[in-house]
Chain A
Amino acid sequence: MKNPYMPYPVRIDDIQIATEDRSLKTFKFVFLNKEDEEKFSYHAGQFAELSIPGKGEIPIGIASSPTEKGFVKFTVFKTGVVTSYLHDMKAGDIMGIRGPLGNWYPWEMLEKGKNIVIIGGGFAFTTLRSSIIYMLDPANRSKFGNIDVIYGSRSPGMLLYQNELFEWEKRDDINMNITVDGTDDPDWKYNVGFVPTIVEEKAPKADPDTYAIICGPPIMIKFTQPVLEKLGYRDDQIIMSLENRMKCGIGMCGRCNIGKELVCRDGPVFTLEQLNMTPKEY
């Protein structure tokens, strides 16, 4: 019987500092065994356990896209035992990845020509990056209608994947709305304002074929929800990804439950309609 707790061995191929305060780094991993990469076939929105023997494991959203081959990417905030250790590791080091885990954004439904509004804040842009890369892939772009992105952070230097953001900004098949809470950079040519405000100003009005995918800190989500409601979005058109504390990632350890649902197994992706039926334990 397969051991679901067994990670695939990977090598750290590259480490990039992701934000100006150095609290986030993007790790690029390459599987030591080519066949493991095939077994690790994933969808945008899923997560995996980064596994460091002797330290433990940490569940992190997959930031690379299924269309990017040969590696997987994770952007990790330095905060606890495992992530602090990981931040001190070097390219070439060997560790483990266990996954992919959880469900994903409902691509089967969305790929029927739906308009997508991506709303992200702060660090929670990882699986959203995965989703954007996936949708912009030449093989996939025609499956979607309009793509709007509203992404904000505290300051310009805290935006994740800056180079890619500015590249997407130049394209005409994706409508970017980058924003920061504030900046003293006189040359900043994008938005200034909190994400909910920019959503109100820039997000498309609801229609039956438009779906919003939101990831961000609780405070951003709290203030964005009423804005989307005002724009006419129904609860089943608002798709969210949760991050409860997890250990096993496979529905065994029991700590990430919200009512009947386990975030790791039944989520992390839920519609607001589904979340309204659970206790507010997230």
Chain B
Amino acid sequence: MKRLKKENLAPFLEEMNNKRTVYCPQSVDEKDIILAPLGKGKITDEACKTSISFKSMLFPQKEEINNFSKDGVEKILDTGKTAVFGVRACDFRSMEFVDAFMARNEMKDPFYFAKRNNILVMTLACNCPVSETCFCTDTGKAPFLEKGFDLQFFDAGSFYIVESQSREGDKVLESDYFTGSDSKDGETLSKIKDNSMKAEMQAPGFAKAVEWLKGNEPEPEFWDDLATACIACGGCSFVCPTCTCSNIFDSPSNGGFMRFRTWDTCMYEGFSRETSGHNPRGSLGSRLARRYLHKIKDDPENYGVSGCVGCGRCSDACPVGLGMIEIIKQINRI
């Protein structure tokens, strides 16, 4: 356990930036806080919800998967070293899900893991909910991590208390910016953790809904009713830290063609529509059902990890109030 003064955060990240490309939450326009490479804006030193999670560093919105150039077929693999600071516990857990998803059936997605194996994740625990749609404690998890991280930062006012759980993390703590911990830091940490668990958050009744879904399923009419409000914008998917659905398309490039993988959303009608016109999920209700049920019913069964981490981004993004919080409340009313 070590300490880092908050005033030393920026110099520390800049020092690290010499070895790895460092991303952290920054405010660029005094409004949105985005996850961006160092130097884009003002570093945010408190736990905050970036509009998109650090999933975008590992599974970018658009990436090349094949390059059919004039000189033959090339392989493209991004293996640059990166680091990210300020990842909240919920977003870190979302990556545990994506890791499991991207590595099934002996086949590991090479584009994802090329980046995943080269990223150093520095998480920052939330002392209190960072927005009114946070509900990680309702999903049965804490606003901090118990295990699996490289480095975890706790906000202790004018400084951070930092824990390492990996050799990579230990190495980072050797930097002169970190100082030895005080004998009281252990106690401070317990207090921070206790308080963060007691902080009031959204509590739609996640566990109750998940339990009910194990033996039951809402009727199609349930989803059709909700769908009367949905405008199929796909916002919920694009901001979701565990959404992994993708599209593949080809574009001309350098006298040849490039094949790209991009984010996609199952909320769009064309997602599963077949060339014949037949669509197994032609109705918006069936698409809503698919999106929300697989997160909290099928994903835990398939991967042993929940597809919802309680970050609340879908509830933030949805223009008609149909995020996971509302869906869970509705399921619990059945």
Closest to A4 in B: B107
Contact check, A247 vs B247: say whether CB atoms are below 8 A apart. Answer: yes
Q: Is A281 an interface residue (CB 8 A)?
A: yes
Q: Contact partner of A245 among B73, B272, B301, CB < 8 A?
A: B272
For the complex, count residues of B whose C-beta is within 8 A of A: 44
For the complex, count residues of A whose C-beta is within 8 A of B: 36
Q: Is B118 an interface residue (CB 8 A)?
A: no
Q: Mark A244-267, 1 if CB is under 8 A from B, else 0.
A: 110110111111111110000100
Q: Is the interface of B mostly helix, strand, loop or mixed?
A: mixed
Contact check, B110 vs A53: say whether CB atoms are below 8 A apart. Answer: no
Contact check, B275 vs A265: say whether CB atoms are below 8 A apart. Answer: no
Contact check, B248 vs A57: say whether CB atoms are below 8 A apart. Answer: yes
Of B28-36, B41-49, B249-257, the segment with at least 4 beta carbons within 8 Å of chain A is: B249-257
Residues of A participating in the B interface, judged by any CB pair closer than 8 Å = 1-7, 9, 53-57, 79-80, 83, 218, 243-245, 247-248, 250-260, 265, 281-282
Contact check, A55 vs B280: say whether CB atoms are below 8 A apart. Answer: no
Which residues of chain A are within 8 angstroms of B108 by Cβ–Cβ distance?
1
Closest to A243 in B: B274
Which residues of chain A are within 8 angstroms of B247 by Cβ–Cβ distance?
247, 253
Q: Is the interface of A mostly helix, strand, loop or mixed?
A: loop
A-B interface contact total, Cβ < 8 Å: 99
Q: Tell me the bound Cα distance from A220 to B109 in angstroms.
A: 38
A78 to chain B, nearest CB (A): 10
Per the 8 Å Cβ criterion, residues 89-134 of B in contact with A are 102, 104-105, 107-110, 113-114
B259 to chain A, nearest CB (A): 7
Task: Take A5-B66, A56-B249, A79-B276 as given contacts and tell me if A257 and B294 are in contact as well, using a CB distance cutoff of 8 Å.
Answer: yes
Which residues of chain B are within 8 angstroms of A79 by Cβ–Cβ distance?
275-276
Per the 8 Å Cβ criterion, residues 247-288 of B in contact with A are 247-250, 252, 256-257, 259, 261, 264, 266, 271-276, 278, 280-281, 286
Task: Take A1-B114, A6-B75, A253-B246 as given contacts and tell me if A53 and B68 are in contact as well, using a CB distance cutoff of 8 Å.
Answer: yes
Closest to A249 in B: B248
Contact check, B272 vs A255: say whether CB atoms are below 8 A apart. Answer: yes
Contact check, A251 vs B105: say whether CB atoms are below 8 A apart. Answer: yes
Task: Take A3-B75, A79-B275, A255-B272 as given contacts and tell me if A54 and B68 are in contact as well, using a CB distance cutoff of 8 Å.
Answer: yes
The residue in B248, B276, B294 that gathers the most chain A C-beta atoms within 10 A of its C-beta is B248
Contact check, A245 vs B274: say whether CB atoms are below 8 A apart. Answer: yes
Q: Mark B41-76, 1 if CB is under 8 A from A, else 0.
A: 000000000000000000000000110100001010
